[in-house]
Structure 1
Amino acid sequence: MKSNERVAFITGGVSGLGFGIARAFSNAGFRLALSYRNEAYRAEAEQWFADNGRELPLFLKLDVTDRARFGEVAMEIDAHFGRLDVLVNNAGVSVFGPTDEASYADYDWIMGVNFGGVVNGLVSMLPLLKRTGPGGHVVNVASMAAYLSGPQAGIYTASKFAVRGLTESLRYNLAPQGIGVSLLCPGLTRTNAWDSAFRRPEAFGDSGFGELDRAALTQFGTAFDLGMDPLEVGEKTLRGIEANAGLIFSHPEYAEDFREIYEASLAALPDEPAPEGRLEIERLRREGNRAAASGRTISIADLT
């Protein structure tokens, strides 16, 4: 199918990484639906499409934690385009603070947006994606934090680990239907993602992280000026979709980290024999995963 016949929906698609992905898709001829919350960002995005002589996206105001509105958005996309070929669950928040001091509000907000927003996108949009038929694709945007943890981003890291696990499992479920699934894990990208704490909703205002240190956070934000151009990440995302890659890494600078993870993981395994029964169960699990990845539907009956 030609790109100019395909439709992509990108949450948080009018700024930052989402807008980089949107521009890459538009350059490739996709028709677009983009969700947004900030009117100024929406206006800037609309101007880019107009200046470049592109079809204007279907702009949809959406808080990704609002399940009822997500359902309405699915119906609006269906009514406008009659199909959905690519779903990009991108919208998220980056919030930092010591995990041991976090409040329930910190957990509820960060997990609600970063993981819950992906869940809401899947539940709301997969019926239309499936109805459109084989060849569709889901991209769930995580972060290198889906692999790398640190002392100041515990809840953010937990949310991205959760997105990673969900995405890897979903790929097995949708392969038999001819729908691809990718996990996108970008590194440092030139966006305003660092300033999420400035836009924290009042409903989640009871933070355990203490009073916001605006000067320190703004200084931290200068690191993002060194990040990759969001358009480049978007172009790599598109190439990953076309290759049906399960994992899309956009940044090359993490070999040392993955080597350490690999070596530490192997070293943590007990150096002792495992009983034949357990070895057989793990063999069946691996065989089932390979079969699912190749397009076969696997049930729990295949695992024993």
Structure 2
Amino acid sequence: MSGWQGKVALVTGGVSGIGFGIARAFAAEGMRLALSYRNHAFREDAARWFADHGHEAPLFIALDVTDRDGFAAAGEEIDRHFGRLDVLANNAGVSVFGPTDEASYADYDWIMGVNFGGVVNGLVTMLPRIKAAGRGGHVVNVASMAAYLSGPQAGIYTASKFAVRGLTESLRYNLAPYGIGCSLVCPALTRTNAWDSALKRPDAFAGSGFAPVDRAELEQFGTAFEAGMDPLEVGEKIVRGMNENRAVIFTHPEFAEDFREIYEASVAALPDEPVPAARQEIERLRREAGRAAAAGKSIGIADLT
């Protein structure tokens, strides 16, 4: 029997793309599911899949992840339906591209609001429920390989994913004393419709600094996603990473060259000069505190000096 059997999980954006892959992988482990959605057709498709495969029907929750009141209502609905929450998978996001030097406030507010703000809203609303239950659990924050790799057309998207990475790496230390695992997931090219986010821009963020969307050009870009990994495979790799409580779950293997370049460039950028003993000691204490936190000790500011 799976260690996740009977656990209750919320997956945001859980009815299509990577979110639906996660939902199916969680269902295979025997988890009970709450899935947030915005597209009613995708919701119906997901409901049909669960019925056809003999799984318990998920609790479907209409939710815009930027809506804090909506998140609060979703938490109450989960409380009523399941009486608890064990796993949170913050997955919902938008993929929007354009030259960063031309971006408007609306571009920043929309992309950061969904990709980073949506994660924040999930954590603030749902973490107290997981902690209060006292049974451990797991938080999965889905970022992207853009959390490590930047590009000329993805400045705000990259910033949002770097932010999710930094938040998740720090949060892992805070959750360890509660027996709650925390994983950063960084998928790469996956067979989804994520490429069409720019066609779904909310009216409230209409004032883009980017050039008007060329649908034909965007659809051509979308053809690249056909070569992507099956979302279910991504979901299954996430479950394996959760089982091992991995800090980082990489789902795609094709980035060794990139990481080698990042490592070599980073080390080469460090000044080659003596370091005062007092500064060395502060960094020793930081590393020691990090290791202790990862092992489950609650760390305070006093532990850093």
Instruction: Specify the TM-score bucket, using the shorter chain as the normaliser.
Output: over 0.9
- Amino acid in the other structure paired with 1:172: Y
CA contact (8 A) 2:190 2:227 kept: yes
Q: 1:243 — aligned with what?
A: 244
1:15-68 Cα deviation digits (max 9, x unpaired) = 000000000111111110000001001000001001111110000000000001
Cα distance in 2 between the residues matched to 1:179 and 1:4: 16
Cα distance in 1 between the residues matched to 2:55 and 2:172: 32
Cα distance in 2 between the residues matched to 1:133 and 1:221: 44
Matched, 1:37 2:24: no
Matched, 1:290 2:291: yes
1:128-180 Cα deviation digits (max 9, x unpaired) = 11122233000000000000000000000000000000000000001011101
1:58-113 Cα deviation digits (max 9, x unpaired) = 00000000001101101111111111111000000000000000000000000000
Matched, 1:152 2:133: no
Matched, 1:140 2:141: yes
Number of equivalences? 304
Trace 1:91-106 onto structure 2 (pairs within 5 A). Answer: 91-106=92-107
- Amino acid in the other structure paired with 2:78: I
Please report the RMSD computed on the Cα atoms of aligned residues, expressed in angstroms.
Answer: 0.8
CA contact (8 A) 2:130 2:136 kept: no
Q: Which consecutive unaligned segments of at least 5 residues does structure 1 have? A: none
> Deviation at 1:2?
4.6
Q: 1:123 — aligned with what?
A: 124
Cα distance in 2 between the residues matched to 1:49 and 1:199: 27
Change (3 A) 1:39 1:104: same
> Deviation at 1:224?
0.4
1:202-261 Cα deviation digits (max 9, x unpaired) = 000100002111111110000000000000000000011111111000000000000000
Cα distance in 2 between the residues matched to 1:88 and 1:273: 44
Matched, 1:75 2:76: yes
Q: Which consecutive unaligned segments of at least 5 residues does structure 2 have? A: none
CA contact (8 A) 2:86 2:136 kept: yes
4+ residue runs over 2 A deviation? 1-4
> Deviation at 1:272?
0.4
SS at match of 1:239: helix
Query: What TM-score results when the alignment is normalised by the length of structure 1?
Result: 0.99
Query: What TM-score results when the alignment is normalised by the length of structure 2?
Result: 0.99
Percent identity between the aligned chains?
75
